A and B are shown apart, each in its own frame.
Chain A
Amino acid sequence: MKVAISSHDGKLDTRFSSRFGRCDYFVLIDSESRDWEAKRNPAAEARGGAGPRAVQFVSEQGAGATITGRYGPNAFTALDAAGIQAFEADDGTPEQLIEKFLAGELKQVHVPTGPELH
């Protein structure tokens, strides 16, 4: 499964970004092959609706799961509609988080957990 992790700089070994809609990059990792790539988040500079726009982007990239700090209501609704699983983390780098994800150590969320930001 391809997993999209919010990131400040698109690197594997630096701390992830706890913001979802307006993170600068998504690190996309294949959980089987560990192949990965970083893509700029087109929603980072959105005038509004960054959450849904970011979900549309990771959905187009073929992600089946996302890892970030908190999910606002709009992002969560969009993830739910897109059938993308939402996971939360407090800390970690993308390479650490993918291992935690595979070990089943990350919390999957089923309701929005963060405020609506802009």
Chain B
Amino acid sequence: MVIAVASGKGGTGKTTVATSLALALAESGRQVAYLDCDVEAPNAHLFLRPALDNYKQVDLLIPEVDSDVCTGRGVCAEACQFHAIVTLGGKTLVFPELCHGCGSCTLVCPEKAITEIPKSLGHLESGRVNGGMFFAHGVLDIGEPMAVPVISQLKDWQSFPQSTISIVDSPPGASCPVVESLRGADYVLLITEPTPFGLHDLRLAVQLTQELNIPAGVIVNRDGIGDDGVDIYCRESNVPILMRVPFDRELGANLAQGKTLVAVAPEYKQRFTDLYSHIKAILDDSGSRG
């Protein structure tokens, strides 16, 4: 079972929910794997404190053109969807930051003038939390715009038995890195705050899960602030609100010190295992009907 935790808006509490959900499930005796896919700003390790003892480099293969062999016909430029390789006045030029590493240019080059050179994008790290829960995250190199290959390799790095519950901590937004992190998820938990900003981005996130055809439910964080726009939207769109975490200044102060929600407020252990049972029931129900 793969549960992705996503949001649309940044700073709504994805990592707060994901870390505590994972800890509550692990403590209840389940096998849990935590994947922090927010590779631009991975921070779940600050809460879970895993012993990271496994490292893997992530590279992208970038074309390098042998100008002695290249005849400048532009077949590569024609093939590239991202215009990362262009032919100008018979000269072929590569823009490494635009390259998605698909290899099309190398395949189509009639002169075989292109070789592929690995370029660092970032790295992966993994380890165990207190000898139990599996943890892994991806870290994008500073200044590198290409997050998707790091997320993709993170998700394919290790495989788990069917009984393992994978918690995927997604990046904010609704663009390619989020799509990549949601790929293969059985259920998406969308974390929002009940404000016009939260609602605006929640709509985008809900549309994305519908586009990907993955069932989704909402957790309202900082409940009690803002307005009732999120409630009205969820009711009208048939998106279930599965949990509410009330706004609590003291709780915020504790989280800011790197404490987890379940450590500060142990009653959430039961609430999160109940949440998991609820999700499982939703999926079993839709499976038996479908």
Contacts and interface: CB of A to CB of B under 8 A. Distances in A.
A48 interface: yes
Nearest to B94: A52
Interface in A36-89: 43, 46-53, 55-56, 59, 74, 77-78, 81-83
A47 B82 contact: yes
B89 A53 contact: no
Contacts of B86: 49, 52-53, 55-56, 78
Contacts of A55: 86, 88
B157 interface: no
B87 interface: yes
- Which has the most chain B C-beta neighbours within 10 Å: A50, A52, A74? A52
Contacts of A83: 89
Interface residues of B, number: 17
Contact of A77 (B80, B81, B82, B95): B95
Contacts of B83: 43, 46, 48-53, 56
B95 A81 contact: no
Contacts of B93: 52, 77-78, 81
Contacts of B239: none
Nearest to A21: B83
Interface in B70-87: 74, 77, 80-84, 86-87
Q: Give the interface SS of chain A, mostly helix, strand, loop or mixed.
A: helix
Interface residues of A, number: 19
B97 interface: yes
A55 B86 CA distance: 9
A59 B88 contact: yes
Contacts of A48: 81-84, 98, 100
A16 to B, nearest CB: 23
B82 A49 contact: yes
Interface in A5-61: 43, 46-53, 55-56, 59
B91 interface: yes
A49 B91 contact: no
A116 B98 CA distance: 11
Contacts of A74: 95, 97-98
A56 B87 CA distance: 7
A48 B77 CA distance: 13
Nearest to A58: B88
Contacts of B100: 48
Contacts of A52: 83-84, 86, 93, 95, 98
B88 A82 contact: yes
B89 A82 contact: yes
Contacts of A59: 88-89
A48 B101 CA distance: 14
Contacts of A49: 80, 82-84, 86, 95, 98
Contacts of A53: 83, 86
Given A56-B74, A78-B93, 18 more contacts: A47-B81, A48-B83, A48-B100, A49-B84, A49-B86, A49-B98, A50-B83, A52-B86, A52-B98, A53-B86, A56-B83, A56-B86, A56-B88, A59-B88, A74-B98, A78-B88, A78-B95, A83-B89
12 contacts: A43-B83, A46-B83, A48-B82, A48-B83, A49-B80, A49-B83, A49-B84, A49-B95, A49-B98, A74-B98, A78-B88, A78-B93
